[in-house]
Amino acid sequence: MSCLFCQISQKKIPSQVQLDTDDIFAFNDIHPKAPVHILIIPKKHIPSTAEVEKIDTEILGKMILSAKKLAEKSNINQTGYRLVFNTKSHGGQIVDHLHLHLLGGKMLGPMA
């Protein structure tokens, strides 16, 4: 599998790791859009939210709980943060492996 985020989660490509569990991996975005910008991904290859299935319900919940935990670790849980799933081209998705953006550490502008 030549997927970039599969390779990052398998540590074949280095990243600044924030979380590494049996089924979830999280790492700093290489081009941060905010002081805190972490990508939370399932280790299972799912292309986008458009392909999630009922069997993925647990992993989706774990992604949000991981975001909560990382927001606490990054000290942005009190000031607040934004969680974003970009989906396919109109949604601005560049990497075709499901990922949740955790953004915070500054006042974020209005959504596009």
Give the catalytic positions in this structure.
99
Q: Does 19 interact with Zn ion (rule: CB under 5 A)?
A: no
In the chain, helix, strand, coil percent, each to 5?
Answer: 30, 20, 50
Alpha helices in 1-112 (DSSP H): 4-9, 57-73
Among 17, 21, 30, 64, binds ligand 5GP (CB under 6 A): 30
Q: Does 99 interact with Zn ion (rule: CB under 5 A)?
A: no
Under DSSP, is residue 40 helix (H, G, I), strand (E, B) or coil? strand
Under DSSP, is residue 93 helix (H, G, I), strand (E, B) or coil? coil
Among 15, 49, 74, 77, binds ligand 5GP (CB under 6 A): 15
Q: Does 95 interact with ligand 5GP (rule: CB under 6 A)?
A: yes
User: Which one of ligand 5GP, Zn ion, none interacts with residue 29, CB within 5 to 8 A by kind?
Assistant: ligand 5GP
